A and B are shown apart, each in its own frame.
Chain A
Amino acid sequence: MMGCDIAVIGAGPAGMAAAVRAQESGARVAVLDDNPTAGGQIWRGGERTQTGALARRWLEKFKSVDQFAITNCSVVSAEVDPLKLLLETSDRTEIVRPQKIVLATGAREMFLPFPGWTLPGVMGVGGLQAIAKSGLPIEGKKIVVAGSGPLLLAVAAHLKRHGAQVKLIAEQASRGALAGFALQLLRSPGKLFQAGGLQLSLMGIPYLQDCWVTEAHGDGQLKSVTLRGASKTWTEECDYAAVAYGLYPNTELAALLGCKMFGAVVAVNELQRTSISNVYCAGESSGIGGVDLALVEGEIAGYAAAGQEPAARKLFGARKRAQAFANALNSAFALRSELRTLPRPETFVCRCEDVTFKRLQSVSSFRAAKLHTRCGMGPCQGKVCGPAADFLVGWRTESIRPPVFPARLGTLTFDETEQQDIAK
């Protein structure tokens, strides 16, 4: 593997911005990403699918560092002093030893268990959109979009534009909280909500607030969902239900490196530096805030990692504005406590190991749950049930051990001295 000064992990907006600014500053940059193309989840598919001006601008800029990007690559393990990353692609194992790391590992959707949520046809919100963008035919399909956050609006509009019959959007946040947020928006740079709301009304998709899915029904395949609204409970037939409750930061690698956390996110200073001096973090993994915040944090991290602190400081004002918007967004879409009552005793919380809510309630920590129930021990390594357990019962996944991603045995026993042979 080529030498590099800075390894950027994640090629979403934050990682792309960090890589571009670090490279412009003269650093040799390598970008590592698990997906087939750069762009992250929000610009999934890269140039092939993205038509928005902001996405195109950054994807274009990123071309200068694209040749040093490795896609479809999992970072399996990481060490500090000195920094060392163990990577796996479908046919290779490699070790990278950068001087500095920028973690831009993004976020995943937060899924909350409810009866029937494991039925085929129940997907995430970004999940359904990603699969639709990658080719799933949705024309004429009846779809319920539910959960929380601005993503529901964007995804519903996308699905409808591509011929789906979007029956409704169920947003768990209260009408009052959202009205307050809409007022704040008038003073903010983002126009997302007005734009989203207007588009939806033109499209004829009902946007219900104080409303959530309580159960999915079907015999081996989704047939309908039951919804609870402000004044009634009813059932909607659908082919797909897209249900997710906002985003949860991906912090496994940061935890493995030993970076200090602040709640569920990676703690950073004003230069986006973590508690480890040569490790930076930007984007959703250092706090859920959306694409504008991710980009400016990425730029700051990229400049700072490349030793260009004055350039980084010039962006502090822009970051502050983006952060204010993110704070308003996060408080408007805060999750209601009733969602904690959705799983029944027999509802699976851990989908990999089929661990029920009842079994989880018999233990007192995520660690105990792992030991006694195998919750979080399956292939996803707690990435789905961990955030759910955090929300349902307040457990955090305390210890992270490698591999953070299921890896081949050959990768785990990888001997660097044989690297030349294996790499060929």
Chain B
Amino acid sequence: MHETIEIFVNGRAVRVAAGMSVAAAVFVAGEHIFRTSVTGEPRAALCGMGICFECRVTIDDQHHARSCQIVVKPGIKVQTS
């Protein structure tokens, strides 16, 4: 089994595989909405390669972080909309 680490998604502790992207970890945490659009629609990851900005979340103090381009680190706090 791969090494796992603990992170926090919307305040809940979740164990995820080390090396995973934050986007994948959000799904693993059981969330399927990453952000809310300007007209209030729920949105989630689309392009998986850092282009579309649909997967942006808050990671610790960093707002609008593209979760598909960032690898999880122990203890990070991820906040979806």
Do A and B come from the same complex?
A: yes
Q: Mark B24-35, 1 if CB is under 8 A from A, else 0.
A: 110110001110
| Residue in A closest to B39 when the chains form the complex, CB atoms | A354
Interface magnitude class on chain B: 35 or more
Check B51 against A380 for contact (C-beta < 8 Å): yes
A159 within 8 A of B: no
Interface size bracket, A side: 35 or more
Q: Which residues of B contact A129 (CB under 8 A)?
A: 48
Interface status of A273 (Cβ within 8 A of chain B): no
With both chains docked as a complex, state the minimum distance between the C-beta of B73 and any C-beta of chain A, in angstroms.
Answer: 12
CB pair A118–B43 under 8 Å, yes or no, is yes
Interface check B45, CB cutoff 8 A: yes
Whether B78 is near chain A, meaning CB under 8 Å from some CB there, is no
Chain B hits for A108, CB < 8 A: 47, 49, 51
User: For window 38-70 of chain B, which residues contact chain A by CB distance below 8 Å?
Assistant: 38-39, 41-54, 56, 62, 64, 68-70
Which chain B residues border A123 with CB–CB below 8 Å? 44-48
Query: Is A383's beta carbon under 8 Å from chain B?
Result: yes
User: A134 at interface (Cβ–Cβ under 8 A)?
Assistant: yes
Q: Within 8 Å CB of B19, what residues of A?
A: 48, 135
Q: Would B23 and A136 count as touching, CB distance under 8 A?
A: yes
Assess whether B17 is interfacial by the CB under 8 Å rule. yes
B11 CB, nearest partner CB in chain A, Å:
20
Chain B residue numbers with a CB within 8 Å of A120 are: 32-34, 42-44
> Is A319 close to B, CB under 8 A?
no
Number of residue pairs spanning A and B whose beta carbons lie under 8 angstroms apart: 116
Are B24 and A134 closer than 8 Å at their CB atoms? Answer: yes
Taken together as a complex, chains A and B put the C-alpha atoms of A121 and B31 apart, in Å, by: 11
CA distance A130 to B24 in the complex (A): 10
Q: Does A379 contact B (CB under 8 A)?
A: yes
Out of B21, B43, B53, name the residue touching A135 (CB < 8 Å): B21
Q: Choose among A48, A90, A130, A221 the residue that contacts B68 (Cβ–Cβ < 8 A).
A: A130
- B47 and A135 contacting across the interface, CB-CB below 8 Å: no
Q: Does B20 contact A (CB under 8 A)?
A: yes
The 8 Å CB contact of B45, one of A72, A109, A119, A131, is: A131
Contact between A379 and B64, CB atoms less than 8 A apart = yes
Q: Could you tell me if B48 and A353 are in contact, using CB atoms closer than 8 angstroms?
A: no
Contact residues in A for B34 (Cβ distance below 8 Å) = 120
Interface residues of A in 53-105 (CB under 8 A from B): 72, 90
| Cα distance, A42 to B69, chains bound together (Å) | 15
A127 engages B41 (CB within 8 Å): no
* Segment among A24-32, A33-41, A169-177, A187-195 that sits at the interface with chain B: A33-41
Closest residue of A by beta carbon distance from B53: A379
Please give the distance in Å from B18's CB to the nearest CB on chain A: 10
| Chain B residue contacts of A351, Cβ below 8 A | 37, 43, 46, 52, 54
Q: Is B16 part of the binding interface, using a Cβ–Cβ cutoff of 8 Å?
A: yes
Question: Known contacts being A36-B71, A108-B51, is A134 close to B44, with CB within 8 Å?
Answer: no
> Given A36, A44, A124, A406, which contacts B47 in the complex, CB threshold below 8 Å?
A124
Query: In the assembled complex, how far is the CB of residue A62 from the closest CB belonging to chain B, in whole angstroms?
Result: 19
> Do A36 and B69 touch (CB < 8 A)?
yes
Residues of A within 8 A of B41 (CB): 118, 354
Is there contact, CB below 8 Å, between A127 and B27?
no
Report the minimum CB–CB distance from A418 to chain B (whole Å).
Answer: 22
Q: How far is the CB of B53 from chain A (nearest CB, A)?
A: 4
With known contacts A35-B50, A118-B37, A136-B27, A221–B43 Cβ distance under 8 A: no
- CB pairs A–B below 8 angstroms (26 shown): A34-B50, A34-B69, A35-B50, A36-B70, A72-B69, A111-B46, A120-B33, A120-B42, A123-B47, A127-B45, A128-B48, A130-B49, A131-B24, A134-B68, A135-B17, A135-B20, A136-B27, A136-B28, A221-B32, A351-B43, A351-B52, A354-B41, A378-B53, A384-B51, A384-B52, A406-B53
By Cβ-Cβ distance, the 8 closest A-B pairs, closest first, are: A135-B20, A135-B24, A130-B48, A120-B44, A134-B21, A127-B48, A379-B53, A354-B39
